[in-house]
Structure 1
Amino acid sequence: MKSPNETVNNKVTAGSVNPRPTHSPEDWGASAWEQDWDPAEDLNEEDIEQIANEAEEEFRRNPGQDTPRDKWITPLLDFGSVSGAIDPDQERSEDNLQGEALANQDESQRALRYIAQLVGIPLVSGFIFSRALADPVLSFTLQNNAEAFAMNDHQKVEGAHAVHVEEARLRMDAAIGKSPPLTEEALNEHLSEFALELEEEERHHNEQSLITLVSDSVSGIMLFSILAQKTRGRQALFNTFSRLFEGLSDIAKAVLIILIADTLLGYHSEEGWTGLLELVLGHYGVEAEEEGVVIFVGVVPVVIDVFFKYWIFIGLNKISPGAVVTIKQIDTH
């Protein structure tokens, strides 16, 4: 069975791709420190694309592969990794690094395109659906049904407070001589008009909140449907995140994990969860009840904390045991 590097070299030599120039021993001498070793040097775009496709197929899609990606950052824990690190075949090592670099570059570009799809498609779909279907239907309902989008109890209380403030303002202006005195009949008529304006504003606000809910629901469904599909873009995104995370040092991993954990689950996170819940519910025109907020804050962070600790002691131990040790040492101080 041929290695991935031999396969790439044979296909490059046998095809239309020009062979890469061999490097003399002087190329690896002291003067080489000042040279820019570009993996794509002396290759045209077709050559780079072919090598990238071959390398990606060998390194990612072949379930029987033995050569790991990013092997230069893999700890030297066995004979194979040690012998590979001190392999005297310089051309083979260069081909290995070149294939991995091109595969990483292609994978990162595919991940960026997938992120653009995750952001763009749901937003555009939700906007079009809400503006083309939901907005006309709800606007027609608002204009032809006086009971549609009625004020809730919280809005009525706030509206009554606003009416009292308006009444106090009118009486104050009349008392200091800034406006002529109003009769009770004129005052009641003005307050009635003011209350009707408030009601119309709140009904329109309820309509917009429902449109927002429809738009966000469509966007959420589209986002979930895109993520649920097993595509090369999704795999490239997961692999890119994994490669970036594994490329961090143990201390950097520990600090990043502690930062996220303290932000979501720290002693001060209760106020943050409360504010976030009120912000989200207010975005959809729903008043946050105190009992619901207390239950949410008391249950959700605890569940997240359990799964987070499970991942640290089960998943992170396999990925980076040193990061787990660093986290334990930091927690003891």
Structure 2
Amino acid sequence: MKYWNLKKINQSALDKTGIIPRSISKLFEKFKKELDPNAEVEALEEFKVARYQTVASVKYILFLFIMPVLMNQISKSFIFGPLVNYLWNRDEHIIFLNQSQEERAFAELQRFEEKLHFEILVGKISNPSSNLINYKMTEKALEIALDYANESSCAIKNILADFLSIAVFVSIIISSKRQFSILQSFINELIYGLSDTAKAFLIILFTDMFVGFHSPHGWEVIIELILRHLGLPESRDFIFVFISTFPVILDTIFKYWIFRYLNKISPSSVATYHNMNE
């Protein structure tokens, strides 16, 4: 019964506008409900359904995101971590996974060498000698090699743990279709129940953040972090191609959603969005 009521609420939020304006239809519906002798009982039942929907959705969201994160950390600490460390320590000559790591390591060592020569020129290092310089350079090179070896091993752990987290996330969604349907109904009610100004504000915030004129810099940082997290080469060509295509595709999908759904469900929100965006 509760599941049927949730579907009914979700469907009412997605109804298309007909010949009569939506605002007038809502006014007649309001009068009809107020004159209905069973209005109080129906209002109480709707409140119970809404409360059940909210509580179930919040619990499902927490479970949906906390479980993969827990599995990621537990598997990385107790399963993949020891296994990768054991296999990695068997071959101590492996330091870098890709050329990007080598370039960053060489640039870091070069900066240290330049800093060392600067300290010698300004007299910060007294009695400099070739042996002292070689010792400091060797010590720094070993430190950099250890750091990048740890970064490479962590990247392999991240790949394995992330695949496991994705598998857990997908399996939860597949095995809990009813909870996922309730969550969809809750999100629809939450989004379409907002005021026109709030909808327009969220649309502008989303578009400016992800597909705005200043978003390429943010996408560049995000992609670099993801590639470094997975131990993949930080190809500038790939990053630039992604930035030049993905935000455009995202913007097209978003505009299609506004034209296809939001414009029929809440045309006043679209008008408010255009007025605020001008």
The TM tier, using the shorter chain, reads: 0.7 to 0.9
Please say if 1:199 is aligned against 2:160: no
**Aligned partner (choices 111, 116, 128) of residue 181 of structure 1:** 128
Supply the distance in 2 between the matched residues of 1:142 and 1:113 (Cα, whole angstroms). Answer: 40
Please say if 1:122 is aligned against 2:86: no
1:252 to partner: Cα distance: 2.0
Structure 2 residues without counterparts, runs of 5 or longer? 14-21
1:139 is matched with 85
Supply the distance in 2 between the matched residues of 1:228 and 1:170 (Cα, whole angstroms). Answer: 58
The answer to whether the 8 A contact 1:278-1:287 is kept is no
* Alpha-carbon displacement from aligned partner over 1:229-264 (angstroms, at most 9, x marks no partner): 453321221111111112212222122212211221
Structure 1 residues without counterparts, runs of 5 or longer? 1-53
1:77 is matched with 25
Greater mean deviation of Cα atoms: 248-257 or 278-287: 278-287
Supply the distance in 1 between the matched residues of 2:168 and 2:115 (Cα, whole angstroms). Answer: 50
Matched residues, number: 268
1:322 is matched with 268
1:124 to partner: Cα distance: 1.4
Structure 1 residues 131 and 328: alpha-carbon distance in aligned structure 2, compared to 1, 3 A threshold? same
Please say if 1:224 is aligned against 2:170: yes
* Structure having the larger proportion of residues in helix: 2
SS at match of 1:150: coil
Q: Output aligned runs, 1:181-330, within 5 Å.
A: 181-182=128-129, 184-185=130-131, 187-330=133-276
1:132 to partner: Cα distance: 2.3
Structure 1 residues 210 and 248: alpha-carbon distance in aligned structure 2, compared to 1, 3 A threshold? same
2:17 is matched with none
Aligned-residue Cα RMSD (Å) equals 3.0
1:320 to partner: Cα distance: 1.5
SS at match of 2:25: coil
Structure 1 residues 270 and 247: alpha-carbon distance in aligned structure 2, compared to 1, 3 A threshold? same
Supply the distance in 2 between the matched residues of 1:57 and 1:168 (Cα, whole angstroms). Answer: 69
* Alpha-carbon displacement from aligned partner over 1:282-318 (angstroms, at most 9, x marks no partner): 3334442221111001110111111111111111123
1:88 to partner: Cα distance: 4.7
* Alpha-carbon displacement from aligned partner over 1:34-74 (angstroms, at most 9, x marks no partner): xxxxxxxxxxxxxxxxxxxx5x255236x8x9x968xxxx8
| Aligned residue identity for 1:241 | I
Supply the distance in 2 between the matched residues of 1:160 and 1:249 (Cα, whole angstroms). Answer: 55
- Looking at CA atoms only, which structure, 1 or 2, has the larger radius of gyration? 1
Structure 1 residues 198 and 88: alpha-carbon distance in aligned structure 2, compared to 1, 3 A threshold? closer
Supply the distance in 2 between the matched residues of 1:172 and 1:79 (Cα, whole angstroms). Answer: 78
Q: How many percent identity over aligned positions? A: 25
1:108 to partner: Cα distance: 0.5
* Alpha-carbon displacement from aligned partner over 1:170-216 (angstroms, at most 9, x marks no partner): 5565663744432x345434433432232122111111122122222
Structure 1 residues 189 and 152: alpha-carbon distance in aligned structure 2, compared to 1, 3 A threshold? farther
Structure 1 residues 156 and 59: alpha-carbon distance in aligned structure 2, compared to 1, 3 A threshold? closer
SS at match of 1:266: coil
* Alpha-carbon displacement from aligned partner over 1:14-43 (angstroms, at most 9, x marks no partner): xxxxxxxxxxxxxxxxxxxxxxxxxxxxxx
Q: Give the structure-1-normalised TM-score.
A: 0.70
